[in-house]
Amino acid sequence: MKALILSIVVPCFNEFPVIDETAKQLSGVLSSLIEARLLDKKSFILFVNDGSKDNTWAKIQELNIANRYVCGLNLAGNVGHQNALMAGLSVAKDESDIIVSIDADLQDDVKVISHMVQEYYKGFDIVYGVRDSRQTDTFFKRNSALGFYKFMSMLGVKSVYNHADYRLMSKRSVEQLMQFRERNLYLRGIVPLIGYNTTTVYYNRSERFAGESKYPLTKLINLAVDGITSFSVKPVRLILSVGFLFLLLSIVAIIYTLISYFTGHVVAGWTSMILSLWFIGALILISIGVVGEYIGKIYIEVKDRPRFNIETVLLKK
């Protein structure tokens, strides 16, 4: 069995406090797999600097000299986690046979990479890293995540529950991924569309090794909105359905009003009128917002602007 070249793509945004330890642990994984003759000695780690404001890029340059496995990719500006990951994959696919993507915070168990490689040799093009449980999450985060995945399933979106962006992909699956040109990326929904044989490996998620989370609540909400609006038009159809429902209710209200008028039981209902106005007004604004979200995405997509600008690439010779 020929040993293949593995690249590990690690998007980084202000990850200076953790990057030394990340490089150390990932290097240990590569060394053990190379010694076991499962990987070629040309395997490497590709840190992608996504416009960090701290010394992340300087540390990557330093590690590129000191560590035999570390390579670097510097983006000209911050483009967000999903686009930074795509930038890393676009470079890594030309230099390797299989690619693993993982976050820099060490919350994902790096030891699982060896299991992913073994699954690849069994014939799987895509291997998803899936959390065993969410016991370490807060009650709100655990239940909101569950609700989100169920909602996505109702919309008909293919996704892997408790999977983020920790996965192994073959060269050909990454090449196919590059055919998806949208700017509003939700890779957790796009990757299952590729096809090919897939499987999962399970692991326990740890606390962040150092630094602060780069996915606060606002970014998680934005990611969820991208996921919903990028893969389904059902929210727009739901608005249409609600419109027809209110049309039926209005017909009933008209009949009731006419009966009340002709029977002489007309009563000034100030409270009910105000409540109705507020409710319908809110519904109209929400509906306009949902439609506007789709129009906004169309506006961004038709411009077809580059998703990232690669400034510097540091590879081993």
Three-state SS for 101?
Answer: strand
- Determine, yes or no, domain membership for 117: yes
**Which residue range is the domain that position 285 belongs to?**
234-303
Residues listed for the chain? 317
* Mean pLDDT value of segment 24-29: 92
67/136 same-domain check: yes
- Tell whether 57 is covered by a domain: yes
Residue 248 has pLDDT above 60, yes or no: yes
> Mean pLDDT over residues 197-226, rounded?
67
pLDDT band of 63, cuts 50, 70, 90: very high
pLDDT of residue 271: 46
- Are 80 and 171 found together in one domain? yes
Total domains present in the chain: 2
Q: Are residues 45 and 170 part of one domain?
A: yes
CB contact at 8 A, 29 and 114: yes
User: What does the pLDDT read at residue 230?
Assistant: 63
pLDDT for 125-184, tens place per residue?
999 988 876 565 556 565 665 666 666 666 666 666 677 788 999 999 999 988 887 777
pLDDT band at 74 (very low <50, low <70, confident <90, very high): very high
Residue 201 lies in a domain: yes
Beta bridge partners of 8: 45, 100
What is the C-alpha to C-alpha distance for residues 182 and 168, in angstroms, rounded to an integer?
A: 22
Taking the C-alpha atoms of residue 123 and residue 273, their distance in angstroms, rounded to an integer, is 64
93, exposed or middle or buried, with CB in 10 Å at 0-12, 13-18, 19+?
buried
Q: Both 176 and 296 in a single domain? A: no
> Are 177 and 273 in a shared domain?
no
The tokens describing 260, both together, are: 């009340």
Q: Are residues 109 and 63 located together in one domain of the fold?
A: yes
- Pair (75, 204) in one structural domain: yes
Please report the pLDDT score of residue 229 as a whole number. Answer: 60
Who wins on pLDDT, 24 or 187?
A: 24
Q: Are residues 118 and 48 in the same domain?
A: yes
Tell me, what CATH number does 132's domain have? Answer: 3.90.550.10
From 160, 147, 312, 159, select the one nearest 221 (Cα to Cα): 147
Let me know whether 195 and 256 are in one domain.
no
> Chain-wide mean pLDDT for the chain?
78
Would you state the pLDDT for residue 185? Answer: 73
In a domain, 48, yes or no: yes
Residues 215-229 have a mean pLDDT of 61
Which tokens sit at 35?
A: 């010694």
Buried/exposed 182-219: b ≥16 CB within 10 Å, e otherwise = ebbbbbbbbbbebeeebebbebebeebeebeebeeeee
